[in-house]
Amino acid sequence: PASAAGGGSAGSRGPSPSRSALAPREGPSRRKGQGRRGRGKARGEGLLSKQKRSRRMKANDRERNRMHHLNSALDALRSVLPTFPDDAKLTKIETLRFAHNYIWALTQSLRLA
């Protein structure tokens, strides 16, 4: 009974003031924040769209250039690997695996010599 009375009095004092104190603060601050975001979005929506499109185009260009450089490097690697001309063009992963195995074989032959 004593703990229930003490807990009840502490519980009644603690939650009710904090609820009443927090409720008015949370409400208006949320509305103000949402209002600002909405107005800023409406004003700069076209600008943001253009910026996003520009960033995406630049990222696409970087990725395209990266892939061109990677493919050029793989072509150069294919040209130095000992394969027969009548063989089909090696895929990217086949080229890398073949190069790895070829370097390993050359290393082993040097160790034995």
Tens place of pLDDT for every residue, the chain, 113 residues? 554 444 544 454 555 555 555 555 555 555 555 555 555 555 678 888 999 999 999 999 999 999 999 999 999 999 999 887 777 889 999 999 999 999 999 999 999 98
Does the residue 23 lie in any domain? Answer: no
* Packed helices 2-13 and 15-80: angle between N→C axes, nearest 10 degrees: 70
- As a whole number of angstroms, the distance between CA 8 and CA 12 comes to 6
**CA 81 to chain CA centroid, nearest Å:** 36
* Domains contained in the chain, number: 1
Does the residue 21 lie in any domain? Answer: no
- As a whole number of angstroms, the distance between CA 80 and CA 25 comes to 72
Query: What CATH code is carried by the domain that includes residue 105?
Result: 4.10.280
